[in-house]
Amino acid sequence: MFAYITLLKKWWRSDRIWTNVLVYWCRPVRYIPLRFDIWALGKSQYWPRRRMIEYQKKRLAALLCSTQRFAFWREKILVHSMDLSSLEHGPFSRISIVSKKDFTGVSETLYTDGDRDDEWSRDFTSGSTGTPFCFYLDAHHELRSYAICARMFRTAAGGVSYPVVSMRVSERMGVTIPRGRVFFSRGYNAVRYRVEELRDFLNSFGRGVVMFGFTSSLIELARVVNERRISLSLRGLVAGGEALPEQGRALINQAFGLKVFLSYSTRELGWLAFECEQHRLHINEEWAYVEITDDTGQPLAYGKEGKVVVTTFDNRVMPFVRYDTGDRGVISEEPCSCGRTLRTIRILGRQIELLRFEDGRTVSSLDFSQIFDRYTKVVHQFQIVQTGPFAFTIKVIPGPYFENYKEELAMNLESILHPLAAVSWEVVEHIPEGPNGKAIKFIPLKRAKHIT
């Protein structure tokens, strides 16, 4: 019962107490509710499904009531007729799905709480879709986010709490406060040139750390560690921001002598899933209600692929209700052998990373990325730039076998892209990353023209 009340933010865990401006900005005080949350999340991941569903309904009911302060949501949600007894088939599932474009086309005053301007922080998505998105997060979101991350990092470290180092281009709200630090990598390209500095930084923590980084950065770090035979003081690794191919996972595991764990998050929604010891992604159901829907917004059955649609519980300054992440995924009802009862999800790729030809042919970025996954010693890094309707220039940082296999690789790429596709190579020493430090694997024609 203590864990249940804590996660509902009742009584001793009320946000009215802990997110009060005078209290919240005193960092030592924040450790009190954080300890409550970390302990409760350790219990709730093993709750019976009935209890978790009951908990989510209560969190949704409170959230939907709070949305009535916003004109944007009053038009979409009729709380008085909102029966939450059946989330999959009731009125909740008939709330229209929203996306970035729904927010960018209207005044911020319609969907944010200006009366709480001393409680929120402004942030942006990376703009990898070509449309940067401004959003707001508040102290309610941040405080619970710290605990969600703590559970993820402890899982990666075998259940032990270690200091956390986030290898990033910039800080991110709600990642870690307990003994946490940021190593500003300036993108995955900087890893090779700063690995000795990173080693010394990690060694300064003494007994080791858990490190978080973008997948591309960790793969590059693994290559450098292997090449230079460098030892890093690591107790756990968490990758995020990008898919983790099996070859990349194997490379990281071998280089560091420990298993890498995957996370799933978006900048605006926070930490949505974490990988367990069985390498299945468990949804943070105490944090968000995650659905898989068809293109019309109707929930799909377990095991069916569809849109990943998310409702978060803790951001009151700018609620996200049935928000389309742009990802596609599958939720499983099969129990996980790790013992956790949180549902598991597989993320299948970004909807936005689609290449559409004039004749109607559509190719996912995952299709050509998976081809490169089979040539890890041929190409170290790549970026596909569409230079014409069927013409593609592929910038590569070559591996040791590039000259031997580049023709075979080009043929495989042309076959997956289009029968008329023509591929040319451009060997480079450096491939610029995006503004958030993640690798940009594909630049479509319209963006390539804008860049040039």
Q: Each residue of 223-274: pLDDT tens digit?
A: 999 999 999 999 999 998 878 888 889 999 999 999 999 999 998 999 999 9
CB contact set of 80 (below 8 Å; sequence gap of 6+): none
Whether the pTM exceeds 0.95: the reply is: no
Which band of pLDDT confidence, cut at 50, 70 and 90, is reported for residue 130?
A: very low
**Residue 254 burial (10 A CB sphere; 0-12, 13-18, 19+):** exposed
Answer yes or no: are the C-beta atoms of 18 and 33 closer than 8 Å: yes
Q: What's the Cα-to-Cα distance from 171 to each of 48, 184, 196, 201, 416, rounded to whole Å?
A: 36, 8, 22, 17, 38
Share of the chain above pLDDT 90, in %: 55
Rounded CA-CA distance 96/90 in Å is 13
Lowest mean pLDDT, pick from 302-306, 351-355, 425-429: 351-355
For residues 116 and 122, the model is more confident at: 122
| SS3 call for 387 | coil
Scan for tokens 């703590």, then name that residue. Answer: 150
How far apart are alpha carbons 308 and 329 in whole angstroms? 6
- What single-letter amino acid sits at 210? V
Q: Is the pLDDT score of 15 beyond 80?
A: yes
Q: List the domains of the chain with CATH numbers.
A: 354-443 (3.30.300.30)
CA 423 – CA 130 distance, rounded (Å): 24
Task: Check if the beta carbon of residue 273 is closer than 8 Å to that of residue 281.
Answer: yes
Q: State how far the alpha carbon of 40 is from the alpha carbons of 14, 16, 27, 51, 371, in Å.
A: 14, 19, 21, 14, 43
DSSP per residue, 22-84: HHHTSHHHHHHHHHHHHHHHHHHTTS-HHHHHHHHHHHHHHHHHHGGG-HHHHTT--GGG---
pLDDT digits (tens, 9 = 90+) for 367-419: 676 688 678 778 888 899 999 999 999 999 998 899 999 999 999 999 888 99
Q: Collapsing DSSP states into helix, strand and coil, what is residue 331?
A: strand
Query: How many whole angstroms separate alpha carbon 200 and alpha carbon 206?
Result: 11
CA atoms within 13 A on the CB side of 244: 27
